Amino acid sequence: MAEYFTGTFAGVKKPTPNSEEGVHRYVASQKLSFQLEPTDKGGVSQTVYNKRALNELPYHFINSNQFDMLKTECLCNYEWLLAKLCGCGIRNIFDDFYLAISIEPKDKDLNILLETFQLSRAVLEKDPQQLGSQLSGRLRSLIMKVSHCLSQNASTVHPTMHHQSCH
């Protein structure tokens, strides 16, 4: 099912043991969102989100032991996160992260992103389009802290000097 929701075989033949050239699956590509044309002149186009794909894809990656694909295609993918946030809400994003972390509790990428979403929750509930600024701002402060710790560890610190803990 993960192949279906990622559109892996949309418009191409799927290799099979019985056919050298493969078999056409006749599946449509699964976009994350669609733009509906306005119904009247001067109207505004509307974005409709593919909630089934957004909700099902993480589940199928996890249950098919494709953890790297889960991260690449979903939980560490800005376009997917934005579509999921706009179409389904932040609660559903938390559910996906909690499920993934229950399988891989020591995954640093997922833990950092989950913490970032937790800190950004109030802003993102009001305006999901703030995802980019929330991620860059909060992750930037983390990067700055890590850089500070690395530079601190690289230099010799006098034992009587007070320095910030980097834990």
Give 129-150 as a 3 state SS string: HHHHHHHHHHHHHHHHHHHHHH
Residue 31 in domain: no
Q: Is 155 within a domain?
A: no
Residue 59 lies in a domain: yes
Residue with tokens 């009001």: 126
Q: What pLDDT is recorded for position 162?
A: 36
Q: How many distinct structural domains can be found in the chain? A: 1
Q: How many CB atoms lie within 10 A of CB 137?
A: 14
For the record, the structure tokens of 71 come out as 């991260």
| Segments of the chain with pLDDT less than 50 | 1-10, 156-167
Taking residue 41's Cβ as centre, other Cβ atoms within 10 Å add up to 5
- Environment class of 96 (CB within 10 Å of its CB; exposed 0-12, middle 13-18, buried 19+): buried
**19 part of a folded domain:** no
Residues 54, 87: contact at Cβ < 8 Å? yes
Q: How confident is the model at residue 49, as a pLDDT?
A: 83
In contact, 53 and 96? CB cutoff 8 Å: no
pTM above 0.85, yes or no: no
For residue 83, the enclosing domain spans 46-145
Amino acid letter, 69 = M
- Write out pLDDT tens, residues 36-82: 777 777 677 788 788 888 998 999 889 889 999 899 989 999 999 99
The answer to whether residue 117 sits within a structural domain is yes
Q: In this structure, are residues 117 and 131 in contact, taking their beta carbons and an 8 Å threshold?
A: no
pLDDT, residue 9, reads 46
Q: Is residue 119 part of a domain?
A: yes
Residue 114 belongs to some domain of the structure = yes
